[in-house]
């Protein structure tokens, strides 16, 4: 007999174990929340950390030396996925504090461990805020660089730098803008033109949704807090379904004419 699916409260408790362990500097509690073959992208666009040893190095580099607090706005549970709209407050060992707007996506496996953590935040913007901190950024920068090199070596440092390269170009972002306008404006012909060749359109990670249904749900919706990182764009939505999050993956996709195309669309809402 199969185990009953975890409740919303149980899934939120699983992901809440991470900030709790980080606050307590509990390395085993933090790393142990992940499956043995889990994948961490922090941020999306930088080199991924895969497997326990890699995730331990990630913890030693970014969690252990710092103080991290989450200021949550909305938590969405869809199937076995939790998506959090929040601001990450990072305080370095030298007491420099940065607020980083972010979305965090957690996928939970059948053993109730985290199989995937994706952090959508913009590394170039965070770096710019860091630099504008003035003299306080100097010791903090040295500290972060030292931890990267000690724990992950030159390859790890270069992997983090990959996050500075935004793989969504101007044409991708214009396509995303056009789609958001078409959805909010109820222009189904434009939605079909912009998404007609997108192979994966879903509510959450894995519930297929038709374009007519998607358009109905997002008609007259408003948008906020857009984040472009790696090959993805993420925006907060407010419409007939209440608060939600729309995740667009580009990933270098092109249509038959060679124009940018959306390779995957996921719409996260609390209730289907």
> Which residue ranges form the domains of the chain, and what is each CATH number?
8-164 (3.10.450.50), 170-269 (3.10.450.50)
- Taking residues 237-250, report their average pLDDT: 92
- Taking residues 159-165, report their average pLDDT: 64
Give 103 or 239, the one with higher predicted confidence.
Answer: 103
Calculate the average pLDDT of the chain.
87
Q: Where are the alpha helices (DSSP H) in 132-244?
A: 137-161, 170-185, 188-195, 211-218
Query: What is the model's pLDDT at position 51?
Result: 96
CB atoms within 10 A of CB 230: 22
Per-residue model confidence as pLDDT tens digits over 13-71: 999 999 999 999 999 999 999 999 999 999 998 889 999 999 999 999 889 888 999 99
Inter-CA distances, 51 with 31, 102, 111, 246, 256, Å = 10, 23, 16, 28, 37
Q: What percent of the chain has pLDDT over 70?
A: 82
Contact 254, 197 (CB under 8 A): no
Contact 83, 245 (CB under 8 A): yes
Per-residue model confidence as pLDDT tens digits over 105-150: 999 999 999 999 999 998 877 777 776 776 666 666 666 666 666 6
Angle at 74 between CA 71 and CA 76, to 5 degrees: 130
Query: What is the model's pLDDT at position 259?
Result: 76
Task: Decide: pTM greater than 0.85.
Answer: yes
Query: What is the model's pLDDT at position 128?
Result: 72
Is the pLDDT reported for residue 2 higher than 60?
no
């Amino acid at each position: 007999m199969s185990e009953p699916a975890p409740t919303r409260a149980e899934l939120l408790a699983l992901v809440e174990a991470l900030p709790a362990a980080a606050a307590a500097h509990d390395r085993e509690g933090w790393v142990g929340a992940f499956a043995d073959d889990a994948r961490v992208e922090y941020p999306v666009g930088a080199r991924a950390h895969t497997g326990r040893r890699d995730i331990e190095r990630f913890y030693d580099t970014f969690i252990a030396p710092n103080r991290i607090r989450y200021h949550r706005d909305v938590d969405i549970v869809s199937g076995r996925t939790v998506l959090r709209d929040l601001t990450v407050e990072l305080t370095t060992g030298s007491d420099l504090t940065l607020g980083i707007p972010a979305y965090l996506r957690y996928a939970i496996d059948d053993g109730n461990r985290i199989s995937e953590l994706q952090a959508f935040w913009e590394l170039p913007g965070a770096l710019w805020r860091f630099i504008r901190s003035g003299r306080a950024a100097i010791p903090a920068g040295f500290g972060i660089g030292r931890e990267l090199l000690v724990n992950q070596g030159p390859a790890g440092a270069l992997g983090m730098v990959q996050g500075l390269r935004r793989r969504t170009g101007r044409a991708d972002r214009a396509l995303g803008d056009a789609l958001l306008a078409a959805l909010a404006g109820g222009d189904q012909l434009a939605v079909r033109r912009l998404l007609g060749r997108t192979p994966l359109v879903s509510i959450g990670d894995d519930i297929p949704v038709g374009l007519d249904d998607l358009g109905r749900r997002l008609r007259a919706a408003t948008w906020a807090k857009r984040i472009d990182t790696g090959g993805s764009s993420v925006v907060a939505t407010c419409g007939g379904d209440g608060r939600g999050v729309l995740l667009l993956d580009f990933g270098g996709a092109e249509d038959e004419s060679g124009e940018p195309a959306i390779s995957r669309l996921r719409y996260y809402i609390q209730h289907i």
